[in-house]
């Protein structure tokens, strides 16, 4: 019986104009955005490869580059917007990246601001979720208003089987659309020779598709619930579209506004003040050593001890500044987390958060890069000291390796478990509501 209901439902959907239009729009947007993002990734990759090859032997200004992420072709996240380069010296560890590849965080950022990313994740978040609403808004209400619900249930069809049949039928259609859209985008990505997925990328991609499926299931269960609750299909569609706008367009904005007001950040002046205060105990010695060092340079003779102490003090200053910057960075993260917690009622926010993590295009990848920059800087300071203690060793010192440790996929799962859980909870809760409402429904 269940099989018959599912089969009938699937056939109904596949024949409907709304499914065909929805699928066509989805495929067109997924393909268009993927082609553009692949081209964009190619340019950034070329820049990155050429940059890393050139700047290996620098000893003072050292340029470190953040590689563009291959999954940004599907989940753009913040990959283009965060800067991709950092220049360190033993005098200074920058607190943020600046822009070389891509367009983010450079002084020209203003010229490109206002343009957000359109990618496969956007297609899932906006286009497919809308299609889900259209597929399911009249699943029950249409049958009730046309009178077929009464007829169907007058046969020997248990109510729960009918609902489960309906649910599964529609769900298979949605998952099929997601699979086709993913396949089209994936073919477009993998048809380029400069793109290769490793095992890590495949796992992440699978997780992302799973996440998308869960996200769409939430909207599906929601649509089904409203469809059971409201008898007139046109009204259930109106309600669903309004909830959709609230969850996808308005909710993320509300979270940010609320977080910015509840959790104020220190001003740049306060940060500077903190940095000055942290270095205060060394200030007198620093000035003295700096004077002796500069006088020595002018005379052409600087003692080894003064030179080393000079580097040590500069490095201490840079390190203390870095600690203040780190603390500020943690406050930024806390504010961001608060914004996301406030708006976590929106499945779109949960989806985005987890998708960026799996695409390695969110803040986590950036933080890992900055941690590696710090580790590199510490080694760089030690190497610079050799200049005065053992010049030969300094000259022979090999280039310091700069390897950003790749995040294991398991870590991404561990970081996003709450997002998965909340999405699963929403889906189950809404389905349970739909189920009970349907069992109690007056079908006449």
Partner 1 sequence: MKTIIGKELLDHLRSVQFAVLLAASVLLFAMNGLVFVQHYTRLRADYQKAIATVDQQPSTTMTRLYRQPSPLQFMAEGGEKSSPKGCWLRPKLTLSPLPAETVNFKMPDIPELDWAFIIKIVFSLYVILLAFEAVSGEKERGTLRLVLSNPVGRLRLITGKYLAILAGAAIPLAVGLLVSLLIIGILLPSVLSLPNLARVAFFFILAMAYLSLFGFLSLLFSSLIPRSSVALLVLLSFWILFAFFIPDTASIIAQRYSKVPSEYEMAKLVGPTLQNEVFGRVRKVVERIKKGELKTEKEARDEADSAYEEGQDIVRKLYDDYDNDMRERAALARRISRASPAALFEYAAEAVSETGPTAEARFFRDIRNYSRIYDDYILKKVGKVVGTSPWSFSMGTTVNGKYVSLESPWPQEYQGDKSDFPRFSESRPTFLDGLESGLWDIASLLVWNILLAGLAFSAFLRTDVR
Ranges within 191-250 binding partner 1 (CB under 8 A) = 233-235, 237-239, 241-242, 245-246, 249-250
Site for partner 1 in 350-389 (CB under 8 A): 352, 363
As a whole number of angstroms, the distance between CA 365 and CA 68 comes to 11
Q: Any residues with CB less than 8 A from the CB of 79 and at least 6 apart, and which?
A: 68, 69, 72, 102, 359, 361
The three-state secondary structure class of 420 is helix
As a whole number of angstroms, the distance between CA 149 and CA 147 comes to 5
Site for partner 1 in 129-148 (CB under 8 A): 130, 134, 138
- Residue 78 CB, shortest distance to partner 1, in Å, is 7
Cβ-based nearer residue to partner 1, 298 or 403: 298
Cβ-based nearer residue to partner 1, 42 or 383: 42
Q: Which of 13, 90, 100, 358 binds partner 1 (CB under 8 A)?
A: 100
Cβ-based nearer residue to partner 1, 12 or 382: 12
Q: Which of 14, 332, 428, 439 binds partner 1 (CB under 8 A)?
A: 332
- Residue 155 CB, shortest distance to partner 1, in Å, is 27
Q: Which of 103, 201, 325, 372 binds partner 1 (CB under 8 A)?
A: 103
Helix axis angle for 199-229 and 409-440, nearest 10°, is 20
As a whole number of angstroms, the distance between CA 67 and CA 41 comes to 10
Q: Which of 53, 57, 107, 403 binds partner 1 (CB under 8 A)?
A: 107
Say if residues 443 and 144 touch (Cβ distance below 8 Å).
Answer: yes
Q: Any residues with CB less than 8 A from the CB of 137 and at least 6 apart, and which?
A: 223, 226, 227, 233, 236, 237, 240
- Residue 335 CB, shortest distance to partner 1, in Å, is 6
- x/- mask, partner 1, residues 268-307, rule CB under 8 A, reads x---------------------------------------
Q: Which of 179, 206, 257, 432 binds partner 1 (CB under 8 A)?
A: 257
Q: Candidates 103-111, 200-208, 383-391, 413-421 — which segment interacts with partner 1 by CB under 8 A?
A: 103-111
Say if residues 361 and 119 touch (Cβ distance below 8 Å).
Answer: no
Torsion region of 51: left, alpha or beta (phi above 0 gives left; psi -120 to 50 gives alpha): alpha
User: In sequence order, which ranges of 301-444 are alpha helices (DSSP H)?
Assistant: 304-342, 347-359, 363-389, 391-396, 409-440
Q: Where are the beta strands (DSSP E) in 21-93?
A: 62-65, 85-88
- How many residues lie near partner 1 (CB under 8 A)? 81
- Residue 2 CB, shortest distance to partner 1, in Å, is 27
Q: Which of 86, 174, 339, 434 binds partner 1 (CB under 8 A)?
A: 339
As a whole number of angstroms, the distance between CA 295 and CA 154 comes to 101
Say if residues 59 and 82 touch (Cβ distance below 8 Å).
Answer: no
As a whole number of angstroms, the distance between CA 34 and CA 40 comes to 10
Cβ-based nearer residue to partner 1, 116 or 199: 116
Q: Which of 1, 111, 183, 428 binds partner 1 (CB under 8 A)?
A: 111
Q: Which of 254, 341, 387, 429 binds partner 1 (CB under 8 A)?
A: 254
Cβ-based nearer residue to partner 1, 254 or 437: 254
Say if residues 263 and 338 touch (Cβ distance below 8 Å).
Answer: yes
Q: Candidates 122-130, 156-164, 386-394, 415-423 — which segment interacts with partner 1 by CB under 8 A?
A: 122-130
Site for partner 1 in 16-75 (CB under 8 A): 17-18, 21-22, 25, 29, 32-33, 36-37, 39-40, 43-44, 47-48, 50-51, 54
Residue 82 found at the interface with partner 1 (CB under 8 A): yes
Return the H-helix or E-strand segment holding 214. helix 199-229
Give phi and psi for 271, each to the nearest 5. Answer: -65, -45
Q: Candidates 81-89, 193-201, 221-229, 400-408 — which segment interacts with partner 1 by CB under 8 A?
A: 81-89
Say if residues 37 and 188 touch (Cβ distance below 8 Å).
Answer: no
- Residue 22 CB, shortest distance to partner 1, in Å, is 6
Closest CA to 121 of 355, 293, 338, 328: 355
Cβ-based nearer residue to partner 1, 17 or 199: 17
As a whole number of angstroms, the distance between CA 358 and CA 352 comes to 10
Q: Which of 145, 319, 336, 344 binds partner 1 (CB under 8 A)?
A: 336
Q: Which of 114, 155, 304, 440 binds partner 1 (CB under 8 A)?
A: 114
């Amino acid at each position: 019986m269940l099989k018959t209901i599912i089969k009938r439902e699937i056939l109904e959907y596949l024949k409907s104009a709304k499914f065909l239009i929805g699928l066509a729009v989805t495929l067109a947007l997924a393909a268009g955005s993927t082609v553009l993002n692949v081209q964009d990734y190619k340019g950034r990759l070329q820049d990155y490869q050429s940059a890393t090859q050139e700047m290996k032997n620098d000893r003072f200004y050292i340029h470190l580059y953040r590689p563009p992420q291959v999954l940004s072709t599907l989940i753009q996240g913040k990959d283009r917007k965060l800067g991709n380069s950092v220049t360190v010296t033993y005098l200074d560890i920058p607190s943020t990246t600046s822009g070389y590849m891509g367009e983010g965080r450079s002084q020209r950022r203003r010229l490109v601001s206002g343009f957000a990313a359109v990618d496969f994740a956007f297609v899932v978040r906006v286009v497919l979720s809308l299609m889900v609403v259209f597929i399911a808004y009249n699943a029950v209400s249409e049958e009730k208003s046309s009178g077929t619900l009464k007829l169907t249930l007058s046969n020997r069809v248990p109510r729960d089987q009918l609902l489960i049949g309906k649910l599964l039928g529609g769900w298979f259609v949605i998952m099929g659309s997601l699979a086709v859209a993913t396949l089209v985008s994936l073919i477009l990505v993998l048809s380029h020779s400069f793109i290769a997925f490793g095992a890590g990328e495949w796992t992440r991609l699978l997780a992302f598709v799973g996440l998308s499926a869960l996200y769409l299931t939430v909207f599906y269960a929601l649509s089904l619930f409203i469809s059971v609750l409201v008898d007139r299909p046109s009204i259930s569609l109106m309600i669903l579209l309004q909830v959709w706008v609230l969850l996808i367009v308005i909710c993320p904005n509300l979270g940010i506004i609320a977080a910015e007001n509840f959790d104020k950040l220190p001003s740049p002046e306060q940060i500077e003040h903190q940095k000055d205060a942290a270095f205060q105990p060394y200030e007198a010695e620093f000035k003295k050593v700096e004077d002796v060092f500069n006088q020595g340079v002018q005379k052409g003779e600087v003692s080894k001890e003064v030179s080393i102490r000079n580097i040590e003090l500069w490095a201490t200053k840079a390190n203390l500044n870095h600690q203040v910057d780190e603390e500020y960075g943690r406050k930024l993260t806390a504010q961001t987390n608060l914004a996301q917690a406030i708006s976590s009622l929106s499945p779109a926010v949960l989806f985005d958060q987890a998708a960026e993590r799996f695409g390695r295009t969110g803040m986590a990848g950036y933080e890992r890069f900055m941690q590696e920059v710090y580790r590199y800087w510490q080694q760089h300071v030690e190497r610079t000291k050799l200049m005065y203690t053992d010049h030969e060793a300094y000259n022979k010192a090999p280039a310091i390796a700069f390897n950003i440790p790749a995040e294991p996929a398991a870590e991404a799962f561990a970081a996003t478990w709450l997002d998965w859980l909340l999405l699963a909870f929403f889906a189950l809760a809404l389905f349970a509501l739909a189920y009970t409402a349907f069992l109690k429904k007056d079908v006449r």
